[in-house]
Structure 1
Amino acid sequence: MKNIVILISGGGSNMAAIVRTAEREHWEQRLGARVAAVVSNRVDAKGLEFAKAQGIATQVLDHKAFPSREAFDQALGDAISRYDTPEQPALVVLAGFMRILTPAFVERFAGRLTNIHPSLLPAFTGLHTHQRAIDAGCKFAGVTVHLVTAELDHGPILDQAVVPVLPDDTADTLAARVLTQEHLIYPRAIARLLAV
């Protein structure tokens, strides 16, 4: 069985979409994979409640309790590695995990670390992507699922979805439209990875 460990910092809507899709599409039977754990760097992350209600193991590692980014990433990596099996290393899914990871962490999980970013990468890496797309006069925006590399919001693209930018859009209305696509393409991209 391949374990999936999802990292969150907040509401966990993408995590919930992945969990629901895994159940609906019978990932355990079809792909030999299951969401084994949800880990947050924030004790107040609302997504933890959903994960617990689904019977998924949860853990909080408060990044503020660690003396350095490196120390936090080491502890986080060790927590994830508990879900590795002799046959399969765990797949690590960043789903609204609001931490920049150290190169050592990224290297430790290279090739099995995914992220979702609310823009059509390589455009608009970093924060405030929706407002930046509006300010730039973009006619389209979207979302990208990619493998994580040491460079922020880069790495091989696994899937993308495009949404129109409407004349009266605000960052919030555009974000809401993009989020509906996030919930579709992130589970799809993970299922494709698992099927390889």
Structure 2
Amino acid sequence: MAVDTISTNTNNTAATSQPLRVVVLVSGSGSNLQVLIDAMQAGTLPIEIVGVISNREDAYAVTRAHAAAIPVAILSHVANGKRMGIKTFERHASEQLNAWQPDLIVLAGFMRVLSSAFIDNAPAPMINLHPSLLPAYKGLDTHQRVLQAGEQLHGCSIHVVTAELDAGTVLTQAVLSLTHKDTADDLQKRVQKLEHQLLPWTVLLLAKGVLSLNKAPLNAQQNAFMPALPLKLYIEE
């Protein structure tokens, strides 16, 4: 395990409310992490990314976090060089989360399935970004499966993380129309553009209290003036 302990200056005494403390779990390039970093640095999102956890030491997301002076925990291999098992990963990740004490945990391109014990004992609720219009097309290879099924709409969803894969309450979705020319690679790129809009929008709704992730049933938290979940962001390209 490797943990970078980078100090950050978080003087928020002039603010009327404290920013939402966010930890991001990553496995890959971290393009969605970069979107959050950019919005945080621009002041358009009232958040502080207090840490990043990566299960891959070669993930480019780690480079992005370092460039922004964000603390990083790399939980990829144990001391003898073997890949870290999920139980060991969860033990170290739990320790790090408890040290950072986030208000929100964001899974953005994180490619390990977490146990119910880890999720239930986390110090903050977790949300995950998934490349389909849930509850349809849970799991992997969503773009190819959507094309094979002849769907007319596709997109991405942000949902509450539960022990059942991609099955938690869907909070928000971004939607696009398929064209006859789309390939799986085309859809991957088009949906990624949606992700870069949906994730900061959803985090903003959480930071502002429009959406809530406390223990009460989410549908009960919607007041009479709010539409039912998921809230949808329609994007026409």
1:82 to 99, 115, 119: 99
Match of 2:231 in 1: none
- Contact residue 149 and residue 155 of structure 1 kept, 8 A: yes
Q: Which amino acid aligns with 1:143?
A: C
Q: Which amino acid aligns with 2:25?
A: L
Match of 1:24 in 2: 42
Task: Give the gaps of 5 or more residues in structure 2.
Answer: 1-17, 210-237
**Offset at residue 25 of structure 1 (A):** 3.4
**Secondary structure of residue in 1 paired with 2:40:** helix
Match of 2:168 in 1: 155
Match of 1:38 in 2: 52
Match of 2:182 in 1: 169
Q: Which amino acid aligns with 1:79?
A: Q
Structure 1 residue ranges (4+ consecutive) displaced by more than 6 angstroms after TM superposition: none
Worse-matched range after superposition: 122-131 or 71-80: 71-80
Match of 1:10 in 2: 28
* Equivalent residues in 2 for 1:67-146, closer than 5 Å: 68-84=85-101, 89-109=102-122, 112-146=125-159
Percent of residue pairs bearing the same amino acid type:
39
**Secondary structure of residue in 2 paired with 1:82:** helix
Structure 2-normalised TM-score?
0.75
Task: Indicate how the Cα distance of structure 1 residues 34 and 111 shifts in structure 2: closer, same or farther if over 3 A, else same.
Answer: closer
**Offset at residue 111 of structure 1 (A):** 6.2
**Offset at residue 71 of structure 1 (A):** 2.5
Task: Indicate how the Cα distance of structure 1 residues 110 and 78 shifts in structure 2: closer, same or farther if over 3 A, else same.
Answer: closer
Structure 1-normalised TM-score?
0.89
Give the greater-gyration-radius structure (CA): 2
Deviations 1:122-174 (A, max 9, x none): 00000000000000000110000111111100111121010111101111101
Match of 1:192 in 2: 205
Task: Give the gaps of 5 or more residues in structure 1.
Answer: none
Q: May I ask how many residue pairs the two structures share in their alignment?
A: 187
